[in-house]
Structure formats: structure tokens, C-alpha cells
Amino acid sequence: MQKIFIGLFLLLLIFPLCFFNKEEISKRENRTLARFPSLIEEGGFNHKFGKEFEEWFADHFFKREQIIALHARIRHKINGRIENDKAFVGDNGWIFEKKGIIDVAPLSQQKGEIEYTAYILKRFDDKFKDKGIPVYLVLLPDRNKVYKEYWERYYTPKPTLDYDDEIKKALSDHDNIKIVSVENDFIRSPDKDLYFYKDDVHMTFEEGRFKIQEKVYNELLKSELKELTVFPERKENVYRINRSTFLSALLGKEGYVDKDVTYVDYQFPNKERYKESEQKSFTRQTNDEWGHITEVVYRKGFVTHPAPINKSFFSLGPCYAEDIFNLFKAVFKESAYIRINLGDNFGQDAKNHQINEIRKLFTLEPNSAVIIVTQDYFEYIEQALEE
């Protein structure tokens, strides 16, 4: 009997050696697989041979992708969610990024920068005001101010200007630019359990929540989210979250079917559905301008970026101008929304893409609106304005 098990074990050990995977790239993981290292390299003996061999061996292991999928499924069964160290898929099939709590530095609030921002925005606004297209600039709460209100010991009095006030001052002569400041609502909010990390709305569940966004999110949850379907995949746009890639890699399927919803790419509202909603009124009686806008926006399922698993907050994701534009045109005939946020890490291509997206806005029809939710990257707007 012992011999049977010994034989079985030895067979198991030798098995993968015989069936080696000769692939060179992994479509699912969107990368090339490690190549077999050479013993001799320029400069002499390759002392990394051992490590590289191990990488190569692991990458070409027999049935590797199927094993990964199986492993993910087992975890999924146990945990009720699919995840790896970078992200996880939540209850509604959305991908949530895992990030640590990052202490993001507060906005620079130097006078020169505020003037520059105002200058750019005015020139930007020039493209719209003649068509009667309002431009909304959403200002988000300053963390330091929140601290001052709730955790005074963390408040660091900074010898800088109040961004809100200064920007309002600087743009006061441009009444086409409507400033939406949520700071007071935020600070006045009775919910003491507010956490605030980043200065923009690009949030994940680890990073805190906005009471206001929560309100809107709950609105969405009521009916819209679960029935969303998607637009067909846009191949030319490489900068989207490719949820299907992630899920496929994990689960071993192209696309992922869950509760009668097929996610192939971004979640965008159902084309059919927003015909209905054309009839719905989107004007709400609320003192909260921001709330008003977001309700309008989110009611139509505009959230495309990771939302938290505990459903207490969410974030606005990037929405590309053209899609937004089409959407709004079909639904509201009113607004377009753009978000600019790629930094230098992503190369000139990414920047150019963003600049082009901004330029597309210049062709907006009247009866639209532009909402800017960013307090940075104004140089993209500036570059878009250069022709």
C-alpha cells in the first residue's frame, strides 16, 4: 500500500514536467510570459539564472491558468467574493480596487496657482458661454478643514489660502462658471463618522465616504444598478478598466455572467432604459446643488468606477466625453461631463487622449452643461485650448 502512494506521489511530481505549456503570452493577464533565461549574458555568467528559471518554470506550469481560475473559484465560494491582492469583485459584479489608506497631501493653495486655474477656466468657459452652456466647477472639501471641525488635534494650520474662497473670488466675474462647493454640507453633516482622504472623488472603499455621495448612491441602488447592461466594447480606447480581462483571468471565462447580467466592459446605462427616463423629471427640490447634479447624473447610472462593497460610498469614474455627450444628448439634452485625471505616469499617449476628449467638448450643442470635477490637471485644459 505504501508503494501505491509513493508511486502516486512521484507520478504527480513528474507529471507537469512532461506537459509543458509552450505559450509565450497570456491573453488573460495581458502580458508576456517569462522567457527561458540564458546562462551566459553579456558581462559574463548570468547570476540571476536561478530566479529567472523559476519565473519561467512557474509561468509555463502545466494548466496554470486553469489552476488560477479554480483557485479563484474556491476562494469565491468561501469568501463570497472574487479577489486577489490588487482588486476584488463585489456583490454586484463590480471590480473594487484595493488600496491602502493614502495620506494625500492637501491641495496646493498658492495664490499663483489659483490665479492660473482661474485664468484657464475663464478661457475654457469662453468656448461655452456664448452657446449658453453652463460650466459647473465642483469643489470638494478640504481635508484639513474637516479635521478642524472634527479632529482638531490633526488640524494643521496652514499659511495658505482658502481654495474655495479664492477660486470663487477669482471667478466672480464669470457667471457662466457655476461653482458647486460641498464643503459646508460636508462639514455641517450630522453624521460624525466621516472619513476623508482624497481631494477628489476617485475613491475606493478603503478611503472614506462622502455623506452626499452616499445619498445619491442609495438612490441608485434602489433600482438602477442591478439592471444595467453594457455598451459593446470600444476597442480603440485602451484606458478603460477591463473588467472582463480581470474576471476572465481569474475565472477562466471570457466575460462573466452573474445574475442575468453580462459584463463585457464598462457599465453604462441601458440604451433602452434611458428612453424611459427621458420622461422623468430630473429637477429636484434640493438646496444642495451638488446633490442635485449628482442625482441627475447618477440616476442614470453614471457611476462606472469601483464602488465600495459596503455600499456606503462610491466614486465618480472617468466617463469619456463622447459617451457622456451621447448619453446626455439622448437623455437630458442637457449636460456633458468630463473628468481629467491622468498624471505623468501614463505617458504622452494618455495625455493626448485626455486633451482630445476635452476638445470634443468644444463641439457641444446648446442645452448641454459641462461639469468639471477636478482640482488639478488644468494644464490639460490649457493644452486643449491651444490649437
Partner 1 sequence: MLFSSLTFLFFFLPMTIIVYYTETRRIIRNMFLLFASVLFYAWGDIRYLPILFSTVFISYIGAIFIERSNHKQSTAAVFILLDLSMLFYFKYAGFFLENIGLLFHREWSLKLVLPLGISFYTFQALSYLIDVCRGGVKAQHNFFNLSLYICFFPQLIAGPIVKYHDIADQIDDRKETTDAFYYGFRRFIIGLAKKVLIANASGEIADKIFALPIAEFDAPIAWLGAMAYTFQIYYDFSGYSDMAIGLGALFGFRIPENFNYPYISKSISEFWRRWHISLGTWFKEYLFYPVSVSLMNSRAYRLIKKHFGKKTAGVFLSIVALTIVWGATGLWHGAAWTFIVWGLYNGFFILFELLTGWGKTKKSKLLSAIQHLYAVFVFVISFVIFRSESCNHALHYIQNMFGLIKEHTVYLKLPYYLNHYNILIFTLAFLFSFPIFKDILNVKNKYYQTIINIFIMIAFSLSVFELTANTFNPFIYFRF
Q: Which residues bind partner 1 (CB under 8 A)?
A: 1-3, 5-6, 8-10, 12-17, 28-31, 45, 47, 50-51, 53-54, 57-59, 61, 64, 67-68, 70-72, 74-75, 78-81, 84, 86-87, 97, 101, 151, 153-154, 195-197, 206, 208, 238-242, 245-246, 249-250, 318, 341-342, 345-346, 350
Name the E strands within 43-187: 44-45, 82-83, 87-89, 95-97, 135-139, 177-181
Query: Where do runs of H (alpha helix) occur along 224-279?
Result: 243-251, 271-278
What is the torsion angle, in degrees rounded to the nearest 10, for the CA atoms of residue 195, residue 309, residue 230 and residue 303?
A: -10
Find the shortest distance in angstroms from Cβ 190 to partner 1: 18
Residues 6+ apart with CB under 8 A from 320: 237, 338, 357
- 331 vs 372 by CB, closer to partner 1: 372
- 6 vs 257 by CB, closer to partner 1: 6
DSSP helix/strand/coil, 303 = coil
Find the shortest distance in angstroms from Cβ 297 to partner 1: 18
Q: What percentage of the chain's residues is helix, strand, coil (to nearest 5)? A: 45, 10, 45
Count the Cβ atoms, other than its own, within 10 Å of residue 252.
16
- 119 vs 238 by CB, closer to partner 1: 238
| Separation CA 39–CA 343 (nearest Å) | 40
- 299 vs 305 by CB, closer to partner 1: 305
Find the shortest distance in angstroms from Cβ 63 to partner 1: 9
Find the shortest distance in angstroms from Cβ 279 to partner 1: 33
- 342 vs 385 by CB, closer to partner 1: 342
Find where cell 427621458 sits.
Answer: 278
Find the shortest distance in angstroms from Cβ 171 to partner 1: 28
- 28 vs 300 by CB, closer to partner 1: 28
Is-contact 257 249, C-beta < 8 A?
no
Find the shortest distance in angstroms from Cβ 153 to partner 1: 6
